Amino acid sequence: MDRDPPEGAQEGSGSTYRMTGAITISRAGSTARELAAEPDPLTIDLSGVTRMDTVGAWLVYRSVRDRNAKVIGATDETNSLLEQVAEADKPAKVRPEEQGGFYGMLREVGEWMSDVGSTLLGLLGFFGATLVAFANLIRRPKRFRLNAVVQRFDVVGVRALGIIGLMSFLIGIVIAQQGSVQLEQFGAEIYTINLIGRLTVRELGTLMTAIMVAGRSGSAFAAQIGTMKITEEIDAMRTIGVSPIEALVIPRLIATVVMMPLLAFWAMIMSLLGGGLFVWLALGIPPITYLQRLQEVTPMTDLWIGLIKAPVFGFIIALAGCFQGMQVEGNSEEVGTRTTTAVVQSIFLVIVLDAVFAVFFSSLGWG
């Protein structure tokens, strides 16, 4: 066969295929077709080959593997390349099919429990690192960054007043409306004030504020620190001797812990205003009567319970948000995933702690 350079030539019965020139990827298609056209038994002569890449070696090796072809005239370099291709020819590991049914459900539950356990252990370790950083700041007060804390006061507290106030005001209206509809069946609309006062001050004021702060500030903490982790700013801080926990985490923790009671109290006031507006317009109860009734039915212990829970919730929200931000690795997609995880984790822990507080205060006789 007349080629420039010839890829192969048939001898006699066509059982020998002689390769010459460079056997590379640019000639892979024609070489593969010519090898497929050769009859068995096949002998491949490589004595005329000047250069061969891995694609050419794969074509030769495939003929040896599938057709039991014989290779002659190969140089040491060509033999080494063929051996490397043969070693690489291993079956790929295919992900096993998902196991369904009862056993699949057990496996998924086990994986979920394992993830929860590892996350809680990591959160506990991060809490310990935060306590160590607090101790270092107490020993070296000059390292405390007051400007960062004040800035977080503005972000976490002042800028959240509008959305938290509006949400609480509307929740107060909803509680009053739903409560009055149910109590009207028994002619006890006046007890709507009892429902508004105790439910708002004791539970919903603090709880809904915590949920809003988790969605607003906790997610921001995770996204900000996660972005800094990807851009290697945190590594740069460690390189110059600045602790990321002291510089980034502690100001956010302090700001959230301090602002949460204030935001919770603001939410209580706005909820009471919303409920009072509804009972005035819908039930005809004057504001003076509403305020007097609130003083009678809402004990001060309810207010203290709400304000005691608020800083604890704030600490959990800030800790979870900063922890998830520190766990970001890889690419920007991880930032979104960790931000979502921070919000879900914060809200879950807040609700669990709220239940624990409810049982604890009831056992103290503050129910």
Beta carbons of 315 and 360 less than 8 angstroms apart: no
What is the predicted pLDDT for the residue at 99?
Answer: 58
Per-run averaged pLDDT (10 residues), the chain, 367 residues: 38 66 81 80 82 83 81 83 81 61 82 87 92 92 89 93 95 93 88 92 93 94 93 90 91 95 96 95 92 92 93 96 91 89 94 93 83
Containing H/E element for 366?
none
What is the predicted pLDDT for the residue at 94?
Answer: 59
Which token pair is 231? Answer: 């851009």
Bridge partner residues of 16 (DSSP): 43
Return all residues near 71 (Cβ < 8 A) that are at least 6 apart: 43, 44, 46, 60, 64, 82
- The sheet carrying 43-52 orders its strands as 16-23, 43-52, 70-72
What is the predicted pLDDT for the residue at 31?
Answer: 80
Q: What is the value of pTM for the model shown?
A: 0.71
What is the predicted pLDDT for the residue at 98?
Answer: 56
What is the predicted pLDDT for the residue at 215?
Answer: 93
Return all residues near 345 (Cβ < 8 A) that are at least 6 apart: 119, 123, 320, 324
What is the predicted pLDDT for the residue at 228?
Answer: 92
What is the predicted pLDDT for the residue at 36?
Answer: 80
Domains of the chain with CATH codes: 16-88 (3.30.750.24), 120-363 (no CATH)
